[in-house]
Each structure stands twice: as structure tokens, then as C-alpha cells.
Amino acid sequence: MTLSTGDKLPDATLLTLGENGPEEVALSARTAGRKVVIFAVPGAYTPTCSAAHVPSFIRTKDQFDAKGVDEIICISVNDPFVMKAWGEATGATEAGINLLGDPQSAFTKAIGMEFDAPPAGLLARSKRYAMYVEDGTVKVLHVEESPGTCEVTAGESLLAEI
């Protein structure tokens, strides 16, 4: 299944790093009755993800808040230790963006957003996308054609649609 506008998100368990180690996060609990922006990147610390994609959501965080968005979540096929360090390194955590790991690519595969780029060492990774979700239903979905591009999935592009 490839996710489309109007679809209900499948339930998924993602990971975050809590005080006592990895903690499970039920995506359905984060989206139920809420307005949430979810964006995904091919990999933490990769050039476009670090220099363009995450910064675009840091820049637009206040504008999303003003539109009633309850939370902005970044998902990557990485472990929660990497996601925590990357959130701190980019300033995303300080800006209030929650970075969640999908280490086995389960959610990414369930929504049909997986891809491989063996020359870059990226296997079972996520395509670059951004979506606006209300009460678990996708209202706006933008997917980049190329994983090295951040245009339609940038915070400014998604913000213009909601």
C-alpha cells in the first residue's frame, strides 16, 4: 500500500530515547484527536536531511503552531540513540520537534515509502515526505521524487497547503 491523501495512518510503534533507554511510542496515540505534521528523512546526519529538511521545520515551527498544529514529528529509519543525538545536533529537539526512530522500517514499509540506495549505503530507508494529519487521517501529503531533494517536502511547502 502506498499512502495517499485521505488514508488513515496504520498503527505503528516507533522509538524514542527516554531517561531509562529506548521507549515505544504508539503513533496512533500521538495522532488521535490531534493535528500533527509528520515528515520523514532518508537518514539522520545525511546532507540534505541535516542542511535543508530539518532546518525548514525549525524555521516554520511557530507558523505551524499558529495554525493549530499540536506536534511536529520527524521519522527516520534509524535507532533512537542516533535520533536523539541528531535532534540535539540540529537544534530540532530544542525547537520542539520530536524525532522518532523506525529502526526496522516497519512503519515506512507499511505506508509504502521505503527505498534503497546501495551506493550511499542506504537500505530499507524512507523516501523523503511530509504530511499533515488530522485525527490519524492524512489531509496533505508531499513526496519528493529524489531523496537528495528537499522542495515539496520542506516546511514552507507543507505550511502553504494547510
Query: Can you spell out the DSSP letters for 96-136?
Result: TPEEEE-TT-HHHHHTT-EEEEGGGTEEEEEPPEEEEEETT
Is the pLDDT reported for residue 112 higher than 90? yes
User: Within a domain: residue 103?
Assistant: yes
User: Within a domain: residue 112?
Assistant: yes
User: Within a domain: residue 113?
Assistant: yes
The total domain count for the chain is 1
Is the pLDDT reported for residue 2 higher than 80? yes
**Catalytic site positions:** 49
Place of cell 501529503: 141
Show the domain range for 20: 13-161
Enumerate the H helices of the chain as residue ranges. Answer: 27-31, 47-48, 54-66, 80-90, 92-95, 106-110, 155-161
User: Within a domain: residue 8?
Assistant: no
Q: For residue 117, what is the domain's CATH number? A: 3.40.30.10
Is the pLDDT reported for residue 1 higher than 80? no
* Distance in angstroms (rounded) separating the CA atoms of residues 36 and 47: 25
User: For the chain, what percent of residues have pLDDT higher than 90?
Assistant: 90
User: Within a domain: residue 142?
Assistant: yes
User: Within a domain: residue 6?
Assistant: no
Is the pLDDT reported for residue 116 higher than 90? no
**Confidence tier at 17 by pLDDT (50, 70, 90):** very high
Q: 150, 161, 160, 162: which is closest to 74 by C-alpha? A: 150
State the pLDDT at residue 120: 82
User: Within a domain: residue 4?
Assistant: no
pTM above 0.85, yes or no: yes
> Mean of the pLDDT values across residues 136-160?
95
* Distance in angstroms (rounded) separating the CA atoms of residues 153 and 91: 19
Is the pLDDT reported for residue 124 higher than 80? yes
**Contact, 33 vs 137, CB < 8 A?**
no
User: Within a domain: residue 7?
Assistant: no
Place of cell 536531511: 49
| Range from 69-73, 105-109, 117-121, 138-142 carrying the lowest mean pLDDT | 117-121
**Confidence tier at 149 by pLDDT (50, 70, 90):** very high
* Distance in angstroms (rounded) separating the CA atoms of residues 24 and 48: 27
